Structure 1
């Protein structure tokens, strides 16, 4: 007696095989997930890259802030020089020298501003700890 004459009877071996394939795929996915969770060196490296990216972003933000601060300071000095030149000619010469120094060395002044901000941040963090 063969199953060929009875189309309504499912083939049990095919059903078992399909079930085994599904279980095998799920087991493979689970093993893959667990492997990723227990791969400590790779996870540590990923964290290191994330921290480095965050530090680069903070440094870029600090650079822009320092540049903006230097520009603001330059504008204030120019304003003071303009006021000084209208009231006292000897002070105007010193003010123009200061403005010339700021214009001649914007990168070192911005770097000094960044270093100052980092020092202030570091000191306040240490005091809170």
Structure 2
């Protein structure tokens, strides 16, 4: 170590003290800058909310996909059960009607609506 009276050592000590004091002042200034700290807190909160929203969306999407898979499996099971319990000629007619309805959806919808209206009219007529 150098002697305390050494001008070079004193100058180095003074420069180090200035640097440390500058860092301390900067830290205190940051702590006392309330608007900047509030802005940082708002930004952190917004980022956390975005993350939570994305996570919730992913979770909901996963649940929807699981529900869709379960529904598809149940529909497949019901279709298999119907196919095994319905006589072959009736099953073929149903498949043929489904193919026709897929090719011509408007006439099929009109026929279904007409049939529903007829059933409604007949049921109403019987009550009177």
Runs of 4+ deviating beyond 6 Å:
none
What are the within-5 Å matches in structure 2 for residues 1-129 of structure 1?
A: 12-88=6-82
Unaligned runs of 5+ in 2: 84-128
- Residue-by-residue CA offset, 1:79-99 (whole Å, 9 max, x unaligned): 11111112247xxxxxxxxxx
TM-score with structure 1 setting the length? 0.56
Aligned pairs, how many?
82
> CA 1:21 to 1:45, structure 2 compared with 1: closer, same or farther past 3 Å?
same
Give the aligned CA root-mean-square deviation in angstroms. Answer: 2.3
Structure 1 unaligned spans of 5+ = 1-8, 90-129
CA distance in 1, matches of 2:62, 2:4: 77
